[in-house]
Amino acid sequence: MAASATAAESATPDSIALVSLDEIRAAARLLHGVAVRTPLLSADDLAQHLGAGEIFVKPEMLQRGGAFKFRGAYVFLAGLSAATRERGVIAPSSGNHAQAVAFAARIFGIHATLVMPTTVTAVKRAGVERLGGKVELAGTTTSDRMERAEQLARESGSVLVPPYDDARIIAGQGTAGLEIVEDLPDVGTVVVPVGGGGLSAGVATAVKLLAPNARVIGVEPVGAAKLSRARESGKPVRLEHTGGLADGLLATQIGTIPFAHHSAYIDEVVTVDDAELAPAMRYLLDRLKIVAEPSGAITLAALQSGRVEPRGKTVAVLSGGNIEYDGLRSVLGNG
């Protein structure tokens, strides 16, 4: 596997060993029969409206735990020795990674502590607790959660499961990209959300290595444009503040290992503002009967708004659907 986040902290993108296609395929074998192989669903009327070719969505809200995060979390835990796993796991998360780690921990029969923000949505906290995870609240930023998780890991001897800055996590998330190309070998454009960077790094890697002529475009919120800033600077840059509806994409800094993959495989990055998320969520609900959280709908918003032009057969990765009824009603009531 490629370097760990700790080893990569001072590395440049060119010096980091990238996750390979073989590692992504190995992750897919681990996930076979455990994770959901999410389908590609046609969005015909959107394609017609945009005057484009075929448009598909990959609905990761159908994944176990309600988001793509289960892929990486399970692969990470499966790669630990039984003795190491028995020490339990700890993970910092705004919500979806926490649920994924709790789910994977339950499968392996081990204890999981999840460090979540004080602003965590009720549905995401309830999801963790329903899966048997212990929730600890710490601050509102990615740094707050990571610092507390690292402290708890040192004190307890439990294993820290990073949310995105880890090769095993990237390989697991990359299985979504593997599935896209297996199901649509002539894919022309893949649009993927960017938070801390694990999903976008993994998907871009799989797609580019299997379909090198395809475009891969990352989408991030205007209020958390950490990859855009990193590409301008040539290295990850910590934002002073992030904010917006897409709470799963509000990391203050792109991961070091993901950024190396982005530098190699992502063609373009665009930003979407909050006002464009509700129409995308409404379209998914009304036309495709899919419930998406704001983070999950951001790729469709990029297509609807014209920020991404579909070229060839286009796939929008929908990263998750963990939003409660009241939250959905609140967002769509303004859409």
Instruction: Please identify every residue annotated as catalytic.
Output: 69, 319
Distance, CA of 54 to CA of 280 (rounded, Å): 17
Distance, CA of 278 to CA of 301 (rounded, Å): 8
Helix H or strand E segment including 215: strand 215-221
Helix (H, G, I), strand (E, B) or coil at 322: coil
Q: Which two structure tokens, joined as six digits, stand for 110?
A: 């081990």
Q: Which residue has the tokens 């960077």?
A: 197
- C-beta separation of 106 from 131 below 8 A: yes
Q: What is the DSSP string of 131-143?
A: TTPEEEE--SSHH
Q: In what order do the strands lie in the sheet with 313-318?
A: 41-42, 55-59, 313-318, 187-193, 215-221, 268-272
Q: Which two structure tokens, joined as six digits, stand for 78?
A: 């499966």
Helix (H, G, I), strand (E, B) or coil at 255: coil
- C-beta separation of 72 from 320 below 8 A: no
Q: CA torsion, points 160, 164, 165, 168, in degrees to nearest 10?
A: 80
- Listed in sequence order, the residues at least 6 apart from 114 whose beta carbon sits closer than 8 Å to its beta carbon are 90, 91, 92, 93, 98, 101, 102, 128, 133, 134, 135, 136
- C-beta separation of 105 from 132 below 8 A: yes
Distance, CA of 206 to CA of 209 (rounded, Å): 5
